[in-house]
């Protein structure tokens, strides 16, 4: 907002901007920069060697793949949950609404242990799955399950206010013009939800990338198979390989940042193309 010569309603742009920069520096930028400082003691070649090992590459693939899958699952089912919670009145709605936030509050280790118990071959769900030949715990599927669990609130909470804002008359107008239900959803409702859905997806995705606590219990942690990047970093630490740990951490940071930036750009684009009044 360029406001030279124009009166601002709230004063103090200089002050608040200064505060924002200091705050972000202290909380985000300075801790991250030490990471890069540490990593800079390695040459690019050394970093490359650490990253390009088959074990690291497998971990990257798994982390990004499982996080993407989990965020995708959350985008679909989170949308349904948010829709039901906003649009329908039913007994126990407040309770259900509160349940959505639980993955935020629950210590991730607790989530990991309960999910593992539940999905192991002797668990309630794992037993059923085992009968049809699906192994959940200690596999990649288990990782996706854990990541889906912790990412759900992000999609639901970003979508709820947007769904609440959609005027039911618009749906009636669409139906009145002869649109079938799926057409009303696809052409009338969905474009209005897309920016918020992308935000929710990005948040769930980012959260899943960084998740450690719940995954270590359910994944089984087998190198090359079910080892995620955060765990690989921890392993390097425990082996006193600080350089290796920072190299992987820094590369992970750059990759995540690029991905989130892309999603944000996408979101900005969709907001422009479906200009919201």
Q: How many CB atoms lie within 10 A of CB 117?
A: 16
Q: What is the CA radius of gyration of the chain?
A: 22
Among 7, 52, 176, 240, binds another protein (CB under 8 A): 176
Taking the least distance from each CB to another protein, the nearer of 102 and 173 is 173
d(CA 121, CA 142): 12
d(CA 63, CA 143): 9
d(CA 7, CA 11): 9
Compose the 132-171 pattern: x for residues touching another protein by CB under 8 A, - for all others. Answer: -----------------------------------x-xx-
**Judged by CB under 8 A, which stretch of 100-108, 111-119, 175-183, 247-255 contacts another protein?**
175-183
d(CA 85, CA 122): 34
274 binds another protein (CB under 8 A): yes
Give the three-class secondary structure for 66: helix
**Judged by CB under 8 A, which stretch of 16-24, 117-125, 181-189, 223-231 contacts another protein?**
181-189
Taking the least distance from each CB to another protein, the nearer of 95 and 275 is 275
d(CA 122, CA 130): 9
Taking the least distance from each CB to another protein, the nearer of 185 and 212 is 185
**Judged by CB under 8 A, which stretch of 86-94, 133-141, 234-242, 268-276 contacts another protein?**
268-276
Among 33, 121, 180, 262, binds another protein (CB under 8 A): 180
Q: What sections of 90-186 are H helices per DSSP? A: 93-100, 102-105, 108-119, 124-131, 140-165, 168-176, 181-183
24 binds another protein (CB under 8 A): no
Tell me the CB-side half-sphere exposure of residue 224, using CA atoms within 13 A: 3
Taking the least distance from each CB to another protein, the nearer of 142 and 195 is 195
* Beta carbon of residue 195, minimum distance to another protein (angstroms, whole number): 10
Taking the least distance from each CB to another protein, the nearer of 225 and 271 is 271
Taking the least distance from each CB to another protein, the nearer of 1 and 275 is 275
If phi over 0 gives left and psi between -120 and 50 gives alpha, with beta otherwise, what is residue 9?
A: alpha
Among 172, 258, 262, 268, binds another protein (CB under 8 A): 172
Q: Which residue do the tokens 């992970």 mark?
A: 252
* Beta carbon of residue 187, minimum distance to another protein (angstroms, whole number): 7
Q: Which residue do the tokens 């907002």 mark?
A: 1
Among 65, 127, 191, 210, binds another protein (CB under 8 A): 191
268 binds another protein (CB under 8 A): no
Q: Residue 32's Cα: distance from chain center in Å?
A: 20
Binding site for another protein (CB under 8 A): 167, 169-170, 172-180, 183, 187-188, 191-192, 274-277
């Amino acid at each position: 907002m360029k406001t030279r010569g124009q009166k601002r309603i709230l004063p103090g742009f200089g002050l608040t901007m200064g505060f924002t920069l200091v705050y972000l520096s202290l909380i985000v930028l300075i801790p991250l920069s030490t990471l890069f400082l540490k990593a800079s003691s390695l040459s690019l070649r050394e970093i490359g060697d650490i990253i390009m090992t088959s074990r690291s590459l497998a971990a990257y693939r798994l982390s990004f793949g499982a996080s993407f899958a989990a965020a995708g699952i959350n985008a679909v089912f989170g949308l349904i949950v948010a829709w039901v919670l906003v649009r329908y009145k039913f007994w126990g709605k407040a309770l259900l609404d509160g349940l959505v936030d639980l993955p935020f509050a629950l210590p991730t280790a607790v989530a990991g242990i309960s999910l593992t118990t539940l999905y192991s071959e002797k668990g309630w769900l794992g037993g059923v799955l085992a009968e049809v030949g699906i192994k959940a715990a200690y596999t990649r599927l288990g990782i996706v399950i854990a990541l889906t669990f912790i990412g759900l609130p992000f999609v639901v909470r970003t979508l709820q206010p947007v769904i609440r804002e959609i005027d039911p008359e618009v749906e009636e107008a669409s139906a009145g013009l002869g649109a079938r239900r799926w057409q009303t959803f696809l052409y009338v409702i969905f474009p209005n939800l897309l920016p918020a859905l992308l935000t929710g997806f990005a948040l769930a995705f980012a959260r899943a990338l960084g998740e450690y606590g719940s995954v270590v219990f359910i994944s089984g942690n087998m190198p090359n198979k079910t080892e995620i990047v955060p765990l690989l970093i921890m392993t390097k630490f425990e082996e006193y390989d600080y350089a290796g740990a920072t190299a992987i951490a820094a590369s992970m940071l750059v990759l995540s940042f690029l991905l989130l930036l892309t999603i944000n750009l996408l979101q900005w684009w969709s907001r422009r193309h479906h200009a919201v009044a």
